[in-house]
């Protein structure tokens, strides 16, 4: 039973570590991760995906790029594809892949967080949940349980005697 518990603990530890690293490591390099909450970008970015947006200079963003941007009025993040660029006003016309029409408003370059470079299907659900109060409490509880289980499941290590005996010649 102890071996099964240790294996389950090891697997859970690895999964939590991978999940944390999937969000933390990209952030170190300026890459931001966002959960996809709607089907507007399906099938390329399915609902529940975690998309990674890399900051780009305005001149590097082109038609066809999927960009993540902030809607200032709602303070929400959106990922849609650039379908046209108004270089005079520094605005992008964007559209969700699954939407029949372009979005009503234009997106100013200043509101663009980055160009989506890759995604992980379904991982956005976990990240978005972990960012809620309930999710944070569960993550903290899991971490405490993991630490306690590690302590309880430690193998009995033989104690070594660090005292040295001196011999008298």
Task: Report the catalytic residues.
Answer: 38
Q: Cβ distance 8 to 150 under 8 Å?
A: no
Q: Cβ distance 115 to 45 under 8 Å?
A: no
Which of 106, 113, 114 lies closest to 87 in space, CA to CA? Answer: 106
Residue with tokens 């709607």: 38
Which of 136, 112, 124, 144 lies closest to 22 in space, CA to CA? Answer: 124
């Amino acid at each position: 039973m102890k071996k099964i518990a240790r294996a389950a603990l090891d697997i859970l530890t690895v999964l939590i570590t991978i999940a944390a690293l999937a969000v933390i490591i990209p952030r170190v390099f300026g890459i931001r991760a966002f959960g996809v909450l709607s089907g507007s970008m399906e099938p390329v970015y399915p609902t529940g995906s975690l998309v990674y947006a890399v900051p780009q200079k305005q001149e590097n963003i082109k038609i066809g790029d999927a960009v993540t941007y902030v809607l200032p009025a709602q303070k929400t993040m959106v990922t849609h594809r650039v379908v046209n660029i108004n270089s005079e006003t520094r605005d992008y016309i964007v559209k969700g892949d699954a939407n029949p029409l372009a979005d009503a408003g234009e997106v100013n370059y200043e509101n663009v967080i980055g160009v989506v470079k890759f995604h992980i299907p379904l991982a956005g659900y976990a990240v978005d949940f972990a960012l809620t109060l309930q999710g944070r409490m569960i993550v903290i509880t899991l971490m405490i349980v993991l630490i306690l289980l590690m302590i309880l499941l430690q193998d009995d290590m033989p104690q070594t005697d660090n005292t040295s005996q001196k011999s008298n010649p």
